[in-house]
Chain A
Amino acid sequence: MTARARYIVGVDVGGTFTDLIAFDEAEGRLLSAKVPSLPGEQWRGVLDALTELGIAFDAIRAFVHGTTIATNALLERQGAKTALVTTKGFRDVLEIGKGRRLVGGLFDTTWQRPAPLVPRDRRHEVGERIDADGTVLATATESEIEALAGTLRRQGVEAVAVAFVHSYRNPENELAVAAALRQRLNAVPVTESAVLIPERGEFERSSTVVLNAYLTPVMTKYLGTLSSELSGRGIRAPVNIMGSNGGAMTLEAARQRCVGTFLSGPVGGVGGAVRAAEAADLGDLITFDMGGTSTDVALVHGRAPRMSHDNQVDAYPLQMPQLDIHTIGAGGGSIVWIGPDRTLEIGPQSAGASPGPACYGRGGDRPTISDANLLLGRLPTDRPLAGGLVLDVAAAEAAFRALGTALGTDDPVALADGALAVAVAKMAGAVREVSVHRGFDPRDFALVGFGGAGPMHGFMVAEELGMTRVLIPRFPGHLSALGQMMADLRRDFVKAWGGRLGTLSPGALKREAEALRRQGVGLLLDDGIARERQRHAFTIDMRYAGQSYTLGIPWNFDDPDFGPLRRAFDDLHAATFGFADRANEAEMVNIRLVSIGDVDKPVLDFASPAAGDPNAGGRSVWFGRWLDTAIFDRARMPAGFAFSGPAIVEEAGGTSVVPPGWSVTVDASGALVCGFDDGTR
């Protein structure tokens, strides 16, 4: 690293805007730029934003990219013309799955199943079969493969997925057919299901490999263009892509496993929240990332974000390890409306950037959560927001009054307060989903609020759930990008292996685990991570004999026997489901390995606060009644500064609304560390 290479760059390419920030390690400064994204040429937005930032390209030492390429290509159905090769008798599995709707449909006589990504004419069967033990019963013949290759060429196929029944037990038929097709189809990418994700369940595995094949050409093209354009401008720093598992991926890994990037955006925020919480010495937290149209929440236990392995993207199952991030369609721009039974509803429709909430004065006439906040005094009316926008109270009021008729009230404050309460209940429901539903009590956790609207609503969500600690990190609007910069490289591995504990030996488990770890070490070495900077951790998926769903139990490779594992499983089962079947036999189902490669991270030492008085006056704000509320300027708050709610903390890109009962201290990292004590708890 040269002395001049002082910038770490994080970039988020969204559907509308490309956000880029650079952290200047030399001065502890954060630079940011926002430019329009260009459909089909997202790399151009990245370059535009870099140019706008005005930093020397050769002074960039690392570059991390959160990309929505895969997500957008899927939503817009702009993926490649894909074919699927299956076991004889199974070509319709992709279309009909297990007969479930998977997306809504109860009481809806006109419901339509979303079309499969590979239509029936491009789903081809070959005469191969493997049984449940992995024994090969039949293999595809040479002439069959030859004919298939001809058909695929004739169909103009751009990507191929191969998914055979029981390939997770024995991949040899899949590997052989895929290799034969690669040889015959030149540049067409071919993906095997068992290579991508060797887990049981032919529908989920087929769906996952099809998603990957469908998106690979789009991703490959984008990443290829991006890296050549960046190096063309003299950027020598390696480019990493954020993965849904919370770690970064090299460009090559992202090309091969683009289905590992669906959560590329939101995971950055979780990582950023973990770092911010670490600085405040908190290990158990719930991240609350609220933006304009949606809110993402995740649970972090012992500094480790929880993972989820059986996921769904759009209407399609996705068997990929992802952070267990729960997203709901409620954000600052969500529209407030009246349901047919005269109840108040929020979202999922959003006013978006255009026309935006009514108070933006850009023609929006439907009330939103932002309008509610304005009417309750939580947003400034007397001066512009950071972006120069002056909010229009009269427009917000008119929008809410229109709703009042249906509810029999003309009090816009009561309506705004009610709308906010309903929105908060929805968001609390999302928090409950990742905590209570997984066996955790949210009251044992701190809520970390960020994103454009997180600091404004986080305290209310915490109160709703009885949580008494809230953390608002510095630069909450940029936390996702900051989190990306701090992300280590990460690779996930799984091996379907196990049986009843009584029939297994610890030695056999160790042999299997060691083989996985060798893979992890090798791949990280290929990624340029030396052995001493690697960490490898195992989890065992366990259940009671007779159950199907599993719980992931951390396993220490050096345990002499299965005792600690079994006890940990029983305890977690009791905590999660209300009972433990301690007398029953337990089974192992999968061995999972997470391999982490440490990368050089920036030291997020922000510049000292600006000089001057942090007190910025006060105004009347609604907290169930109107209260005189102090306003603070966050940029001027020194470490150790303390105050109590009701209070409002304003800064570029976010407003924290601290209700009565909360006391706040600014810690050394600049974060607001907040505790609730109303005397009753």
Chain B
Amino acid sequence: MNEVGRLELIRESLVAVVNEMRANIIRGSYSSIIYEGHDFSCALVTSDGRLVAQGLADNPIHIFAVPYSAAEVVKTFGDDIHEGDIFLHNDPYTGGTHLNDILMLYPVFYQGRLALFTAARCHWGDVGGMTPGSLSGRVTDIYQEGMRIEPTRIAERGRMNEPFLGLLLDNMRIRHERRGDFNTMHGTSLKAAEHIQRLFRRFGGSAFLDAVEELILRSETLMRQRIGAIPDGTYHAEAYLDSNGHSPEPLAGRLKLTVDGDRLIADFTGSSPQTGGPTNVGPAMALNAVASVVKSYLDPQTPVNHGSFNPITIVNPRGSFLNATLPVPCGGMAECRAIMVAMMVSALGQALPQKLVGDLKGGANHVYVSGPHPSSTDDKAGIFLLYEYPAGGTGATIGADGNHVVRAFPEGDFNVVQPAEVVEMQCPVRIEHYGIRENSCGDGEFRGGCGMRRDIRVLVDGASLSVLADHAVIPPFGVAGGYSGAANRFVVLRGGEVLQPSPVPGKVGGFMLRKDDIVRMESSGGGGYGDPLKRDPERVARDVFLGYLSGERAEQRYGVALAADGSVDAGATDGLRRRVRAARLMVRVAAASADDFDGPRRRIGLSPAVAARLGVGEDDLVELATPSGAAALRGWVRMAPGTDGEALRLGPLGIAALGSAAGDRIEVRAVGAIA
């Protein structure tokens, strides 16, 4: 065969296998989160666990972690892997994501030698544990999150280990659905393996596997070229999770990103210790997050394979919440990944300012409403389970506003809610409102997208609510001087009263609902880009006209005055913009010898006068922002009487993360002043 074009043929063929797997899983599966939500991914990996191909609809959060899992299986079973074996894995500490994501690896052999694995990772609706759906914001160890499966052989040489499978499924809610999901993954794997065997016959197995290596090498070469073009240097970023679900203490993520020639070193040393709540993640997620941003910033077009990962080195000490060990829970893996993505967006964005993008909703926003099913003919063990994971607004970039309520760039393209017409048929609830959450966008010259609001009325007694979400206290940040999006918010409306279902916002475990309660989910808006006072007033007027933004907000943030007919009042706008600018609280950066950390919290010392002008007090959250910087830098107020109100002392990490220098004039803001 002609060499020119052969690689491409093989690449097309590999993607065809993955696409076929996707089609089969969607159509055959039993968990609504798979067939409606598309919360699953498929891939092919090499015999030593490197990623060969994924589809463009597949979710990097699943797939970029598959190599770790596959390598673990290879390490565990070594030469003891045979045709007809099937492996399951979901253990976060050895490369899994969270327990709900069940990975099935199916080895494919060529002439008696292990050649490839097919991989399907599907989010099962329930894997046992403390609460229906298995994910909860209030767990304290992983045993409450369901069945943990270290690399396990579930079928040996074509013979299913039925007793083990039975034991597994007996400990999960709605057993027959789980069995159906398992069967679907199994059937899909067999079909994919048949397809790969046809490819071996056609191209010759060795030639085929050589081409796979060549494709990986080419991706690596391209990625190294792209990294080589970035200015060498060390870039710092930090970000926070709200809490571990039990105490109001935040968790700090810290990143030192080094660009050294054609390689990148992402060092998460200094991040908070692991915690007895759901916000931890295993070792696979750091590369996952880093690679997602590297791919997005440097090479969004070419198909993904392991070559893109090779130039990346991860330093991530064990025992932090970003590389957790037994027995801490890991349900909040998406939340942990989200802040690693956020830190990468900011750190790499300092090197490549044109690429900066506002922050996102802070994770998956898992919401479960579950309870007794009134219909006795239903065989779902008498319970209903409604699982949704609201998308938020996406972040703004230098030329473009974010989008309202949609999956964001590092996420696969899932449905995030089910149709009301499906939900109301399957569950005793009524969707009373589903729409754009007005005024939730992060303001900026380019604004973030708005989040959503969804009101779910519960029509039975005895149901409960569980939520696992973040950024319900600390909102998504803006970049280059842009403002935060509104934080996530999950409340219950009962007889006209607004109830907080948990002392820790965003982390709810089995809050008991009553008939006619309304569960209100409001997702966050995307972070803004740049100074809102520079936004084209016509675009502000348009947002107000369409109801995305209030007239009041247009005035306060954007300094845009609108006439009675909704058009821009140019004269009044000029004056208003001057006044808004003048009212900003600007300070001068002064270099301190060390950063002021208090546990996980960065402390920002403010003079009483400055604090009073901002309307904040001790321990309140504030942020520092500058148009020439990357992400806004967050910290908690330390009242510092007697300091010069003009100067703000910042340690070296803070100055670096903000992208400023001593002497710069920057803005201090209270966070969450306008919700």
Contact = CB atoms under 8 A, between A and B. Distances in A.
A109 B9 contact: no
Contact of A107 (B222, B292, B397): B292
A111 B301 CA distance: 13
Interface in A79-117: 89-93, 95-96, 98-102, 104-113
**Chain A: number of interface residues, binned into ranges:** 35 or more
Contact of B26 (A92, A100, A503, A549): A549
Interface in A390-427: 407, 409, 414-415, 417-422, 425-426
B3 A201 contact: no
A96 B450 CA distance: 11
B315 interface: no
- From DSSP, what is the main secondary structure of chain A's interface residues? loop
Interface in B505-551: 545-548
Interface string A338-355: 011111110000000000
B8 A344 contact: yes
Interface in A299-352: 339-345
A123 to B, nearest CB: 10
Contact of B409 (A90, A105, A203): A105
Interface string B403-423: 111110111111111111110
Contact of A425 (B9, B222, B548): B9
A545 B380 CA distance: 10
Interface stretch (B186-194, B486-494, B618-626): B186-194
Among B9, B184, B357, B547, the one with the most A-chain Cβ atoms within 10 Å of its Cβ is: B9
B580 interface: no
A432 B403 CA distance: 34
B376 interface: no
A436 B6 contact: no
B416 A546 contact: no
Nearest to B221: A341
A422 B5 contact: yes
Contacts of A15: none
A549 B34 CA distance: 11
Given A106-B412, A422-B12, A89 B432 contact: yes
Contacts of A108: 296, 300, 409
Given A98-B416, A99-B415, A107-B295, A341 B35 contact: no
B397 A109 contact: yes
Contacts of A93: 434-435
A92 B404 CA distance: 10
A624 B2 contact: yes
Contacts of A541: none
A113 B393 CA distance: 12
A549 B35 contact: yes
A576 B190 CA distance: 12
A286 to B, nearest CB: 16
Contact of A113 (B5, B24, B399, B403): B403
Contact of B404 (A96, A98, A107, A342): A96
Contacts of B13: 425
A558 interface: no
A444 interface: no
Interface stretch (A4-12, A175-183, A474-482, A578-586): A578-586
A342 B218 CA distance: 8
A343 to B, nearest CB: 5
Interface string B265-295: 0000000000000000000000000001001
B439 to A, nearest CB: 14
A548 B415 contact: no
Interface in B194-231: 195, 218-219, 221-222
A308 to B, nearest CB: 13
Contact of A98 (B379, B394, B417): B417
A544 interface: yes
Interface of A: 89-93, 95-96, 98-102, 104-113, 119-121, 131-132, 165-166, 168, 200-203, 339-345, 407, 409, 414-415, 417-422, 425-426, 429, 432-433, 436-437, 503, 544-549, 573, 576-579, 581, 584, 624
29 contacts: A89-B431, A89-B435, A93-B434, A95-B436, A96-B405, A99-B390, A99-B406, A102-B413, A106-B56, A106-B60, A107-B409, A109-B296, A109-B409, A110-B397, A110-B400, A119-B546, A120-B548, A121-B547, A200-B425, A343-B302, A417-B5, A418-B6, A419-B4, A422-B12, A425-B8, A573-B28, A578-B187, A579-B187, A624-B2
